[in-house]
Amino acid sequence: MSPTTTTMKWASLLAALLVASLTQTSMAVIVVCKMDAIDGKILTGACIVGTNGAVTPLVGPGAGPQLLINSTIFYTLDVNARSTLFECASEDDMLIIDSSQYSSQTLNNCDPPLLELRGCSNAIFSNNTFTSITRSTAQPACTISKYGPCVAIVGATSQVTDWSFSSLDNTFTSTGCASIAETSGRLGGALALVRSASGGAMSALIKGSTFTSTMCDFGGAIHSANVSLTLQSSTFTSTLSTNGGAVDFNAAPPTAVHTQKLLVDRSTFTSPTAVNTGGAIQVKGGVLTIKDSTFTNGAALIGQCVWVNLANCGSYTESEIVGNTWTGCAKRGSPPISWCREHDGNDWATCGMEGPVECY
Ligand SMILES: *[C@@H]1O[C@H](CO)[C@@H](O)[C@H](O)[C@H]1NC(C)=O
Ligand SMILES: *[C@@H]1O[C@H](CO)[C@@H](O)[C@H](O)[C@H]1NC(C)=O
Ligand SMILES: *[C@@H]1O[C@H](CO)[C@@H](O)[C@H](O)[C@H]1NC(C)=O
């Protein structure tokens, strides 16, 4: 897609959003970036600032934080010449990463992920593809990265109002950590979503995205920490993790942060595996809704499809589990199993939801 087409597309799509932010401040700007690191080659990338902005090539490696002119967004290319960190100094500017391609890249365990967005409110990540991306198992004497090799979205103290992140129409195939272990602690074979130090609540929408053969220590495809997460019309196939084979959802107690919700809607989980808990999804805390989704052939020590590990069982509502199909999720009647009843259109070919015995 040419820069002009990209700009025109977003100019129309985001007109409403722009108007909304422009009424607050005349300084808000949309930055659209496209990055490519294909077949093991180093990164080439460019960003357009504003609808009539010039194309700014990203130059590196190791050039340190550089300002994208006419914006408040900085970028750094890591010395590996593949990883880009974007840091947003203002809550108003909107970063869009669109139509980027990454393939056949091996990062070592200490490199940052290929893409990290820090403090970037309302960023959109669309139509990007990641294929055959891994972290090597060899661990040189350095500090291991907290994330999988692909994408990390991390909050910053500059974000005082509520903010969002959207992943639309992205494809991750064969991405993640080369081997998994709880002790390595890396988050998300495709996406790590971390509210971190931001004052505002973080929400994330993952829509129309495909995750195939992704793996990492926590969250084979997605790890989320203190985030309200919506998974919509997305497909997870053969994902692997120690906890949360496809998705590892972690919510802080509502006393510390706004109540965080996990909504799974019209999504498909096929052959997900967790070594420990939650073959497809592990839910820790928060509020849960799963509707019109399909779970098939999950595997885990405990909770072959969904493992609900709630500190307080009261926050779980059975009527929020609606219209799903569960196949090959557990042997009927084998403990620990709860909520294994036909209700609200759930097709319980086998039990799909499991939780601690006190939640029965
Ligand atoms: C963008 O940056 C250029 C170069 O610094 C400057 O001449 C121009 O006025 C800026 N445009 C806006 C809208 O700020
Ligand atoms: C992704 O690309 C397809 C094909 O060009 C297009 O139809 C779709 O609208 C794009 N999605 C987004 C979110 O831009
Ligand atoms: C989540 O929020 C809790 C409570 O504020 C905090 O202790 C924890 O460090 C946060 N986790 C992350 C990964 O930001």
90 domain-assigned: no
pTM of the model: 0.90
> 248 CA distance to ligand 3 centroid (A)?
15
Going by CA atoms, what residue is nearest to atom 2 of ligand 3?
Answer: 252
Q: Quick check: 70 and 29 in contact, CB under 8 A?
A: yes
Pocket of ligand 2 (CB under 6 A): 126-127, 168-169
Would you call the peptide bond into 61 cis, given omega within 30 degrees of 0 as the criterion? Answer: yes
> Which atom of ligand 1 lies closest to the CA of 53?
1
Give tens-digit pLDDT for 189-232: 999 999 999 999 999 999 999 999 999 999 999 999 999 999 99
What domain count does the chain have?
A: 1
Give 109 or 140, the one with higher predicted confidence.
Answer: 109
**Among all ligands shown, which has an atom nearest to the Cα of 53?**
1
Q: Which of 96, 169, 170, 206 to mutate to test the pocket of ligand 2 (most atoms within 8 A of CB)?
A: 169
43 domain-assigned: no
**What distance separates the 2 farthest-apart alpha carbons in the chain?**
63
174 domain-assigned: yes
> 31 CA distance to ligand 3 centroid (A)?
29
18 domain-assigned: no
Residue 341 C-beta-side C-alpha neighbours within 13 Å: 7
What integer is the mean pLDDT of 318-326?
A: 85
Check residue 343 and give its pLDDT: 62
Give tens-digit pLDDT for 2-30: 444 444 455 454 444 444 444 444 579 99
What is the rounded CA–CA span in Å between residue 256 and residue 174?
36
299 domain-assigned: yes
Domain that holds residue 106: 100-359
> 201 CA distance to ligand 3 centroid (A)?
12
203 domain-assigned: yes
Q: Which of 14, 97, 99, 127 to mutate to test the pocket of ligand 2 (most atoms within 8 A of CB)?
A: 127
In this structure, the number of other CB atoms found within 10 A of the CB of residue 266 comes to: 14
232 domain-assigned: yes
17 domain-assigned: no
DSSP class of 19? H
